[in-house]
Structure formats: structure tokens, C-alpha cells
Amino acid sequence: GVLVRLDPDTAAVAHVSRDVGEGFWLFDVVEDGAGKAWVTYQAGLARVDPATGQMRRWNEASGANAPMNGESKLARTDDGTLWLVSEEGGVQARDADGRVRMALKVGDAGGLPKGVFVEQIAPGPDGALWVATSHGMSRWNTQARRFESVPGIANDRVYGFAVDPNRRVWLATFGAVSAYVEKGGTLKREVRLDAEDGLPLLAPSGIVVDGAGVAWLATVRGLMRVGPARRGTRVYGVRD
């Protein structure tokens, strides 16, 4: 349950808290606009102020503001909403003080469909919540107050996604990486790299895209670099 902060410029590591999760493994962490860290753990949510070390927890004893059981993903969208989404598709939207403002069970009207498995949540190019799942991609329609499938994306499993500085949406699927742009309200695929470009047939566990438009994937074989310009792939393992 240890929470540490890494300075990307100096590589300095600072210990923020040594027991955030009340003895449980930590699942996800996100920073809010005030610089405070929000962390999920087994049936728990914590908010930590790195400057003071002050911590507040929500657990099964928190009544209407209790987190969901199991593992929950965390994301903060442009409107300041803190989202918790369980792997099974349950959803909570919380305000800056941690109060639950909306809760959806899997299968509810407006919620995620039954049988879904959630891989990742994060803000999409529109600033709303996007969700990568075993059923493709979904996004939260703020006006209609419901989750909708992202037009142009097949209902295949998506293991992770990222939005680059040019607002292209990158999807990591089994053995492939694809980049999409929005045209007329629908995502259109611009780039796809797969086994023909050297990508191994495996399921990545995360993806980010750097400022040069290069995709980096976390995989069981190591860190993978996917360069669309030269359509090349390199894997960095423990020997690197």
C-alpha cells in the first residue's frame, strides 16, 4: 500500500505514504487539480495530500459514499469529476470532495452492458470519460447522461487507449496498434501496425503516445516502441 512520487526530470523518488490501502494492494492513482492523489484499493478509496501527508479514506463503512467492491479504475475528466469504474462495469461519479453524485450498476439504463470487462478509463479527445472494454470502446455522453459505443470502433477487446497531442486516438488491441481521427462524428482509422510490422501476438497492458507520435506499450515481453512513421517496432527487455 505504499504511495511514492517520481520526479520525471530528476528521477528522484519521494515516499508520500506507506499505508494508503489499509493493508490492501493499491489498484489505481490519479492526481486532481489541487495536486492531491486519489487512490483505489480493495473496496476502498483514499485521498492523499502529498504536501502535508493528510489522508482521508472512504470504505464500506462510508454509507452512501462507499466505494464499490473489487478493483476500480480511476480517472478525472475535464469537468473535475472523479470517476470510479469497476472491472465488471459498475460506475461512480464523485465530486471534488469525494461525494458520490451518480452511481450506475452494470446493465442499468445508461450504464455499461452486462458481461463487460473494463480494461482502462481515461478522458477522451472530447474531455469526457472514455472506457476501453472487452466489448470495444464506450464514452460518456454528458448531455444524454449515458454511455454510448464510440462510432467507428469495432466491438473487439481494447486493452488500452491514448490520445496524442493531435487528438488522434490510439487503440492497443491483441497484436495490433491503430490510430484514429474523428471525422463527421465517427472515428476513422489512419494507421494500423500489426504482425507484418513486427508486433508480436500478445495483449498489451498499457499504452502512451509521446510528443513525436510514437506509441509505447507495456507488455509481458518488456517495453515496446511502435513508430508509425517508419512502421517499425522495438522491444526493450531486462537486458536493455
Residues 44-64 have pLDDT tens digits of 999 999 989 899 999 999 999
| DSSP states of 95-162 | -TT--EEEEE-TTSTTSPPTT--EEEEEE-TTSSEEEEETTEEEEEETTTTEEEEPTT--SS---EEE
- pLDDT at residue 215 greater than cutoff 80: yes
- pLDDT at residue 210 greater than cutoff 80: yes
Q: What pLDDT, on a 0 to 100 scale, did the predictor assign at position 11?
A: 86
| Residue 181 burial (C-beta neighbours within 10 Å; 0-12, 13-18, 19+) | middle
Q: What pLDDT, on a 0 to 100 scale, did the predictor assign at position 35?
A: 93
- Per-residue confidence at 75, pLDDT binned at 50, 70, 90? very high
- The SS3 call for residue 4 is strand
Mean pLDDT, all residues of the chain: 93
The residue-averaged pLDDT of 108-121 equals 96
- pLDDT at residue 229 greater than cutoff 80: no
Number of C-alpha atoms within 13 angstroms, CB side, residue 233?
21
Q: Can you name the residues that pair with 193 across neighbouring β-strands?
A: 177
Q: What pLDDT, on a 0 to 100 scale, did the predictor assign at position 9?
A: 86
Please write the tens of the pLDDT for every residue from 16-46.
888 898 889 999 999 999 999 999 999 899 9
- pLDDT at residue 137 greater than cutoff 90: yes
Contact 26, 40 (CB under 8 A): yes
Q: What pLDDT, on a 0 to 100 scale, did the predictor assign at position 185?
A: 87
Q: Can you name the residues that pair with 56 across neighbouring β-strands?
A: 47
Give the C-alpha distances (Å, rounded to integers) separating 193 from 15, 42, 190, 210, 233. Answer: 39, 36, 10, 17, 9
Q: What pLDDT, on a 0 to 100 scale, did the predictor assign at position 8?
A: 83
**Which residues, at least 6 apart from 141, have a Cβ–Cβ distance to it below 8 Å?**
128, 147, 148
Q: What pLDDT, on a 0 to 100 scale, did the predictor assign at position 209?
A: 94
- pLDDT at residue 108 greater than cutoff 90: yes
Number of C-alpha atoms within 13 angstroms, CB side, residue 167?
8
Q: What pLDDT, on a 0 to 100 scale, did the predictor assign at position 189?
A: 96
Q: Cell 473535475, residue?
A: 80
CA 44 to chain centre: 18
- Per-residue confidence at 5, pLDDT binned at 50, 70, 90? confident
